[in-house]
Amino acid sequence: MSMATTTVQPVERENYLNKHYGVGSWLFTTDHKRIALLYLISITFFFFIGGFFALLIRLELLTPAGDLVQADTYNKLFTMHGQVMIFFFLIPSIPAVLGNFLVPMMVGAKDLAFPRINLLSWYLYIIAGIMMLHCMLTGGVDTGWTFYTPFSTAFSNTKVIEAGLAIFVSGFSSILTGLNFVVTIHRMRAPGMTWSRLPLFIWAHYATSIIQILGTPVIAITLVLVVAERALHLGIFDPKLGGDPLLFQHLFWFYSHPAVYIMILPSMGVVTEIIACFSRKRIFGYTFVALSSIAIAVFGFLVWAHHMFVAGISVYAALVFSLLSYAVAVPSAVKVFNWTATLYKGSIHYDAPMLYAFGFLGLFTMGGLTGLFLSALGVDVHVHDTYFVIAHFHYIMVGGALMGYLGGMHFWWPKISGKLYPEGWARLAALIVFIGFNLTFFPQFILGYLGMPRRYYQYPPEFQVLNVLSTAGATVLAVGYLLPMIYFLWSMRYGKPAPDNPWNAAGLEWKTSSPPPTFNFDEEPVVTWEAYNYDELDAQTNKEEVPVAR
């Protein structure tokens, strides 16, 4: 089988980046790789907006008194930090950027199943983003990202409707991306690419897509109900109008708990690829890792009311949801054990992506274990709505999801850009992120157990020391996030050209050129090997010194 890598490379091979020029060639592209880059730029923009809000929050909390901003401003800051980070960064992050770029290539397809719908997803995201920006610039919203009723429908004087509709629209972007992935993975796999040969990144995205398709419509309709109650005074959630405020919480968390898995599952997929590559090994227990993704997606839909143990639900409902929450913890634990076992008797390299993967392992393990505290009914009563919860979900969603995202960006950057980033800086950034993250969020576990409530603009002075530590950590973390952006941009101009397979990694995406041609492969690949055939790859490298496909 002849592959792109075996041909002699011209000075600049035609690829998806240089095939067409001009703004129009980007805005009207249906190439999944270009759309991935459009997403990359957009979500990075929102990441830094959300990050800016986070820094203002941390600065305000440096002192116990409310002194930097007004109380109302602070309330808007944490609300919009949450909304921007969750709906405009984390949910699209790995699926819409790395997933978009890699899913077709990993299954050996020319593009996603519906390239134009893929572009439509991005436009919906941009429309939603503009609505959100407009909402922020014309006054913002102060309901908390959770939109709890009746505060959001009857009491808040801010732009609830606009924010709700922005998130409503962004939801369709997410649904369409999920739909595209499911169809692509089912219908467009290359000959020989059986389900058991799929990279685990694909399994993770498959599970994620199921949640996106089944969960997102629920948040969409819930937000419409909020808008209806606020604008038309239909009594749905407000008890004064005959509604039930707890109904809102059930509907909201029915999506918003699985949404956590939309953020973390793709990250798990990324980390699986990285660990296999830099251990030069087949993933330990492939089937279990694959099925645990599906198990998480399924069980993830059955645990929503663990956000409501003190909300006024019945004791028996609480018991059931606590029990099911432990059920969803098992597949997550299984994944951690399998990743650890993969390292056993490996040949481990410490390149930057692997450092991020190690960071992910550490932070996700801690995030997951503190989830056990929150699922324990008796303990949750105390730590619910305190900084303990804040620390827990940042360990999962920032420690886990964002570490995976950054690890993946480093791992596939040579493929995406065709350039190598400076390895030393990248390792340094991974270290800074890890240290800064722990310094920021570990003190918050203690704060929470001591009783500091979340969403407090001012707080009793005894909490100050831990808050100062946290703010100090946040500044370190900010440096860690700025660094990769700087050296990635730098590498696009000054970086060394990347070989087609700089890591000698398995996976079809490495068997085409860097950057890939518009239709990914010069010839349709035929897969005759198992996933993660690192033994064969390494055996060949030792013989020939160049990575070549069989």
Q: 307-336: which residues touch another protein (CB under 8 A)?
A: 309-316, 318-319, 322-323, 326, 329-330, 333-334, 336
Q: What CA–CA distance (Å, rounded) separates 18 from 492? A: 13
Over the Cα atoms of the chain, what is R_g? 23
Q: Give the pair of three-digit tokens for residue 334.
A: 């299984």
Among 84, 90, 118, 142, binds another protein (CB under 8 A): 142
Contact between residue 234 and residue 248 where contact means Cβ atoms under 8 Å apart: no
Q: Is the dihedral of CA 130, 131, 137, 142 positive or negative?
A: negative
156 vs 177, which CB is nearer to another protein?
156
Rule CB under 8 A: is residue 370 a binding residue for another protein?
yes
Among 7, 9, 340, 528, binds another protein (CB under 8 A): 340
Q: Name the phi and psi angles at 423, rounded to 5.
A: -60, -40
User: CB of 97: closest distance to another protein in angstroms?
Assistant: 27
User: CB of 268: closest distance to another protein in angstroms?
Assistant: 15
Q: What CA–CA distance (Å, rounded) separates 222 from 466? A: 37
User: CB of 43: closest distance to another protein in angstroms?
Assistant: 27
Q: What CA–CA distance (Å, rounded) separates 400 from 398? A: 5
User: CB of 543: closest distance to another protein in angstroms?
Assistant: 12
Q: Which residues contact 122 (CB under 8 A, 6 or more apart)?
A: 35, 38, 39, 42, 96, 173
Q: Name the phi and psi angles at 56, rounded to 5.
A: -65, -40
Place of tokens 């008194």: 65
User: CB of 177: closest distance to another protein in angstroms?
Assistant: 31
Q: Give the pair of three-digit tokens for residue 309.
A: 């143990």
Strands of 186-296 (E only): list them: none
Rule CB under 8 A: is residue 338 a binding residue for another protein?
yes
Rule CB under 8 A: is residue 195 a binding residue for another protein?
no
User: CB of 500: closest distance to another protein in angstroms?
Assistant: 21
Rule CB under 8 A: is residue 65 a binding residue for another protein?
no
Q: Give the pair of three-digit tokens for residue 333.
A: 């634990």
Binders of another protein among 288-307, rule CB under 8 A? Answer: 288
122 vs 356, which CB is nearer to another protein?
356
Rule CB under 8 A: is residue 344 a binding residue for another protein?
yes
C-alpha closest to that of 287 among 239, 324, 335? 335
Contact between residue 534 and residue 282 where contact means Cβ atoms under 8 Å apart: yes
Please identify, among the stretches 37-45, 341-349, 418-426, 519-527, the one whose residues bind another protein according to the rule CB under 8 A: 341-349
Among 341, 435, 485, 548, binds another protein (CB under 8 A): 341
Binding mask 239-258 for another protein (x = CB under 8 A): xx---xxx------------
Rule CB under 8 A: is residue 550 a binding residue for another protein?
no
Quick check: helix, strand or coil at residue 386? strand
How many of the chain's residues bind another protein (CB under 8 A)? 93
Rule CB under 8 A: is residue 83 a binding residue for another protein?
no
Q: Which residues contact 445 (CB under 8 A, 6 or more apart)?
A: 370, 387, 388, 391, 392
437 vs 488, which CB is nearer to another protein?
437
Binders of another protein among 15-44, rule CB under 8 A? Answer: none
Among 139, 460, 461, 497, binds another protein (CB under 8 A): 460
30 vs 533, which CB is nearer to another protein?
533
Burial profile 495-530: b = 16 or more Cβ within 10 angstroms, e = fewer: beebbbbbbbbbbbbbbbbbbbbbebbeeebebeee
Q: Give the pair of three-digit tokens for residue 108.
A: 């050996």
C-alpha closest to that of 402 among 63, 86, 183, 149? 86
Rule CB under 8 A: is residue 456 a binding residue for another protein?
yes
Contact between residue 127 and residue 176 where contact means Cβ atoms under 8 Å apart: no
Rule CB under 8 A: is residue 535 a binding residue for another protein?
yes
201 vs 284, which CB is nearer to another protein?
284
User: CB of 118: closest distance to another protein in angstroms?
Assistant: 35
Binders of another protein among 111-130, rule CB under 8 A? Answer: none
User: What is the residue-wise DSSP string for 5-28?
Assistant: GGSPPPSS---TTTSS-SHHHHHT
User: CB of 433: closest distance to another protein in angstroms?
Assistant: 18
User: CB of 308: closest distance to another protein in angstroms?
Assistant: 8
Please identify, among the stretches 190-198, 366-374, 396-404, 426-434, the one whose residues bind another protein according to the rule CB under 8 A: 366-374
Binders of another protein among 385-404, rule CB under 8 A? Answer: 385-386
Binders of another protein among 415-454, rule CB under 8 A? Answer: 449-451, 453-454
